[in-house]
Amino acid sequence: MEQYEPDRLSAARLAAMRRSFRNGRAALTRRSLLRAFAGGALAVGGVGALSGCGIPAAGTTRGGVPADDHSKKEKTVTFSNWTEYMDVDESGREHPTLEAFTQRTGIRVEYTEDINDNTEFFGKIKPQLAAGQDTGRDIIVLTDWLAARLIRLGWVQKLDPAHLPHAFTNLSAQFRNPDWDPGRAYSYPWQGISTVIAYNRKALDGVEVRTLSDLLDNAKLKGRVGLLTEMRDTVGMTLLDMDKDPAQFSADDYDAAVARLQKAVDKGQVRRFTGNDYTADLTKGDFAACLAWAGDVVQLKADNPDIGFLIPDSGYMTSSDVMLIPNKARHKTNAERLIDYYFEPRPAAELAAYINFVCPVDGVKDELAKIDEEAANNPLILPDQAMQAKSRAFRSLSSAEETAFEEKFAKLTGA
């Protein structure tokens, strides 16, 4: 044991010890802090290290990289999905459709709700996918524009049609041929999402709203209008309002739509651009009217009779969340079987009855009517001919366009 023997300590250590005794604690002083700052700055100055860390090109693995498929040996599949995007039983813990799948096939589903935001999730899986590593997930559900990006980057696997008989037969026509994945080689939709105009009747206070122009121009709604941070939904609805087709517009059309929105923002008409949190603003009445996702509105309406929605004559935007199998996923065949399972009418109906988004599966109506008559007749869940005719999709963008458009849109939202 070392004893405290002052005479055996060097002068510097003695000084340090005395310093630390002052104030009864290791005193953090102004000088020591400044010194520490300067030291940090010096460390950063090791500039030579900087050029060593570029980011390698991503597009070298086009077409997807199949990993060894462990489906036969490991009867399991890992499914990453958004929160509240799956049917839940009374106890709130089990997912009946997934249980049924496991019972029939013996494949255990590890279901995680770890996707909250497309852009954030992309940031999360990007390093692994760019480095050609397994993300630990067999199925991920992403919104179509991000799915298009992953396909473009070659980060997802081509699906084997032999494992997807139901999906091939039952996929509704409006989802069959997106320009970013013709014939569905890489992706199959989980749910469709319609963007509509929602309103709070109480907060509207008699103001009549029929088009997006009413939201952007009517001075009575000043500061009580909400738009979405999803660029494609907000700009898509604006393009429709300006009689342009979001499926084929030019860069000039885009600029015109952004300018139209900018005018409304400058007037103070728009209160906020929101993600999913618009639901709170709408129910509280802070938003009198806003762009909204129909699946949410169906649920909000059930809780609050003042909430309503309308579909402008000019049409509405439909996007979709699609299932993808990322590169190096270990259980590709199992994943494909799970994807196919959700295109059978029965599970698709159970899911649709629970989550109220647009069901991308044909021939579900009878099954859904057995569970929930009202849902089966709701055009927001099972769109009829008239609804489908008004539905428009945003065209796919090149990488350069995407960056330029997102930047212009970000300026509009203030950052």
Partner 1 sequence: MTTVAEAPPRAPAPETEPPRKRGRWTPYLLLVPGLLWLLVFFALPVIYQASTSVQTGSLEEGYEVTWHFATYWDALSEYWPQFVRSVLYAASATVLCLLLGYPLAYLIAFRAGRWRNLIMILVIAPFFTSFLIRTLAWKTILADGGPVVGALDTLHVLDVTAWLGWTVGDRVLATPLAVVCGLTYNFLPFMILPLYTSLERIDPRLHEAANDLYARPSTTFRKVTFPLSMPGVVSGTLLTFIPATGDYVNADLLGSTDTRMVGNVIQSQFLRILDYPTAAALSFILMAAILFMVMFYIRRSGTEDLV
Q: Which of 4, 12, 52, 90 binds partner 1 (CB under 8 A)?
A: 52
Quote the CA–CA distance of 270 and 284 in Å, as a whole number.
17
Residues 257-286 that bind partner 1 (CB under 8 A): 265, 268, 270-273, 277, 280-281, 284-286
- Reference 145, options 230, 246, 239, 250; nearest CA is 230
- What sign has the CA pseudo-torsion 176, 182, 185, 189? negative
Is residue 59 close enough to count as binding partner 1 by CB under 8 A?
yes
Q: Which of 14, 15, 26, 27 binds partner 1 (CB under 8 A)?
A: 27
Is residue 414 close enough to count as binding partner 1 by CB under 8 A?
yes
| Pairing status of strand 139-143 against strand 108-115 | unpaired
Choose one: 47-55, 85-93, 138-146, 294-302; the region binding partner 1 (CB under 8 A).
47-55
Quote the CA–CA distance of 390 and 175 in Å, as a whole number.
14
Quote the CA–CA distance of 392 and 38 in Å, as a whole number.
57
Is residue 54 close enough to count as binding partner 1 by CB under 8 A?
yes
Choose one: 114-122, 289-297, 304-312, 380-388; the region binding partner 1 (CB under 8 A).
114-122
- Reference 273, options 122, 415, 121; nearest CA is 415
Decide whether 137 or 271 has the Cβ nearer to partner 1.
271
The minimum distance between CB 215 and partner 1, in angstroms, equals: 15
- Reference 110, options 151, 65, 153, 80; nearest CA is 80
Is residue 201 close enough to count as binding partner 1 by CB under 8 A?
no
Q: Which pair of structure tokens corresponds to residue 33?
A: 């802090």
Quote the CA–CA distance of 404 and 406 in Å, as a whole number.
6
Q: Which pair of structure tokens corresponds to residue 172?
A: 């509704």
The minimum distance between CB 40 and partner 1, in angstroms, equals: 8
The residue ranges that bind partner 1 (CB under 8 A) are 1-2, 8, 23, 27-31, 33-34, 37, 41, 43-44, 46-47, 49-59, 119-120, 122-123, 152-153, 222-224, 231, 265, 268, 270-273, 277, 280-281, 284-286, 399-400, 402-403, 406-407, 410, 412-415
